[in-house]
Structure 1
Amino acid sequence: MKFSILIANYNNGKFFKECYNSILVQEYKNWEAVILDDASTDNSVDVIKNIIGNDERFRFFENDKNSGVGVTKSKLIELANGDICGFVDPDDAITSNAVFSSIKVFEKKKDVVLTYTKFAKCDENLKPIEVPKIVHQVINNNPYFFNCPVNIVHFVCFRKSIYNQTEKMNTVMKIAEDQDLYLKMYEKGKVEFIDETNYLYRLHSGGISQNDNKPTSREYFAKVIFNAMKRRKLKTIHGKPIPEEYTNSKDIYGLLEYQNSFSFRAKKKLIIFAQQIFS
């Protein structure tokens, strides 16, 4: 089973060496790394090409023009030769067992379409600061699951064959394109949490998801959730009607407020426990 490590780069060549080193030490050896540069304006292309050299396990491509993360990640999946794909940002890194831990699940459980792990927030030098507690096993086979609040974050890996059965990556999106992908994969089979901290997430001023764009990100995520509701042909959420057309994020998140109740959270934990016992 081949694993494709997918790397979408834009102006992050200066951080790539740690990402590269983390790939080289993977315990699982049947991998390739596919890198697509989205018309960087710095020296990323030269830096990355110099680092990977003539190693044929690393395949490097460039967009003709800056196309955005949705287009770039979609192209990366198309370029992948692996059975399993997993995104790693060029300014982040993965632990040496990350790929192996994921592959073990996919080999053992044929109904699992996606895996994810815990992640460590790191400083600019990639030194771990904390491991967020938001990540845990989510309920499976539930049309009302929207990964909100977010549980599935990193290191997310998925079967390419199943991805090809979905509507695929939304190339229009510039934010929350990953969450859109996760929900589409979720609809095709089981997702499994690997209780290991296998992803190192670097905090730095140039990080796309770390800039002052939280309101924009929240809006994009609301659209992702709304699209999932429509794709699943849902008419109501907890007794409340779903709008025919997208209006604003407040209306969408308002439909999910019931998830904050103690009774809902308690029931969810029981269901997840039962699914894990009988899986």
Structure 2
Amino acid sequence: METERESGLVSVVITNYNRGDFVIECLNSILSQTYQKWEMIFIDDASTDDSVAIVYEWLQRNEASLRDHQVVIHQLPRNIGFAGAINMGFYLAKGEYIAVQDSDDYSHPLRLERQVTFLQEQPEVELVGTNYYAFPSETPNKRELSTWIKYGDDIRKVYGAGGHCVCHGTILFRGRLFDQIGGPTRRIKGAEDYEFIAKSLNARANIENLPEALYYYRLHAHQRSTKYYRRKESKG
């Protein structure tokens, strides 16, 4: 039986592990979206800090503004890693579209509107990312525009050669893509985001990036990617 998805709804999936210092800015950026038909799915991967308490306090403070939005907070009983956490979020998503949002980053207010409009106008495209600004956590006004994002046919060429050119935190895709191919696995630890894009391309899904910077990517000592690799501009 085909999954029933709510037309026009964007399910914003946020995975979190010990990002209490940054999560408010992340949540506020979703609340500030010009595109208003969204739900938020917050998956906490057994944090040991006060992340979840901070999120519940945020919910209380913004109760009136959230009246038209469903917010799901799911606390995993043990730490299962990024792939497991994000798959849980994808499974809980009921929207026609699914957006990824890292809990230590934040989105431009126009992000969802621009991406949804693009997919509505380009029915042959299944997934769209955006360009982004990277900034050091200690100097948030020192933003640098990414230069490694690719566009059009170059995306498939880069992944075909084993490269990476889509920032995972920026992606928004049709829910049916997840229904068809599933999410990332634990097969390539530290590169689950790469695997999901590559798997989408292998399933012949069309992928594009928007050149407009609609995401703000925080560089800090504890980000997930620094355990596996370091790129000047990106955690992938």
The reply to whether TM is greater than 0.5 is yes
Deviation of 1:93 (Å): 0.2
**Of residues 80, 87, 99 in structure 2, which corresponds to 1:74?**
87
SS state at 2:195 partner: helix
Determine if contact 1:6/1:35 at 8 Å carries over to the other structure. yes
Q: Output the CA distance in 2 between the equivalents of 1:128 and 1:141.
A: 28
Query: Over aligned residues, Cα RMSD in angstroms?
Result: 2.2
Kindly tell me: are residues 51 and 88 of structure 1, through their superposed partners in 2, closer, same or farther at Cα, counting changes over 3 Å?
A: same
Amino acid at match of 1:208: R
In the alignment, structure 1 residue 157 sits paired with structure 2 residue 164 = no
SS state at 1:32 partner: strand
Determine if contact 2:12/2:41 at 8 Å carries over to the other structure. yes
Deviation of 1:58 (Å): 2.1
Segments of structure 2 that go 5 or more residues without pairing to the other structure are 1-7, 231-235
Amino acid at match of 1:164: D
Q: TM-score, normalised on structure 1?
A: 0.71
Corresponding residue of 1:131: 145
Deviation of 1:189 (Å): 2.2
* Larger of the two Rg values belongs to structure: 1
Determine if contact 2:135/2:217 at 8 Å carries over to the other structure. yes
SS state at 2:160 partner: coil
SS state at 2:204 partner: coil
Q: Output the CA distance in 2 between the equivalents of 1:81 and 1:152.
A: 24
Q: Deviations over 1:38-60 (max 9, x none)?
A: 00011111111111224453211
Q: Output the CA distance in 2 between the equivalents of 1:47 and 1:191.
A: 35
Q: Output the CA distance in 1 between the equivalents of 2:164 and 2:119.
A: 23
SS state at 1:188 partner: coil
Q: Output the CA distance in 2 between the equivalents of 1:148 and 1:132.
A: 19
Corresponding residue of 2:34: 27
Deviation of 1:190 (Å): 1.3
In the alignment, structure 1 residue 108 sits paired with structure 2 residue 121 = yes
Q: Output the CA distance in 2 between the equivalents of 1:189 and 1:32.
A: 25
Segments of structure 1 that go 5 or more residues without pairing to the other structure are 216-220, 222-279
Kindly tell me: are residues 149 and 172 of structure 1, through their superposed partners in 2, closer, same or farther at Cα, counting changes over 3 Å?
A: closer
Deviation of 1:122 (Å): 0.9
- The total of aligned residue pairs comes to 215
The percentage of counterpart residues that share the same residue type is: 25
In the alignment, structure 1 residue 97 sits paired with structure 2 residue 110 = yes
SS state at 1:59 partner: strand
Higher relative contact order (CA 8 A, sep 6+): 2
Determine if contact 1:140/1:191 at 8 Å carries over to the other structure. no
Corresponding residue of 2:223: 207
Worse-superposed segment, 116-125 or 32-41: 116-125
Corresponding residue of 2:160: 146
Corresponding residue of 1:248: none
Deviation of 1:149 (Å): 3.0
Corresponding residue of 1:193: 209
Question: Normalized per residue, which structure has more strand?
Answer: 2
SS state at 1:88 partner: strand
Q: Output the CA distance in 2 between the equivalents of 1:193 and 1:3.
A: 18
Amino acid at match of 2:183: K
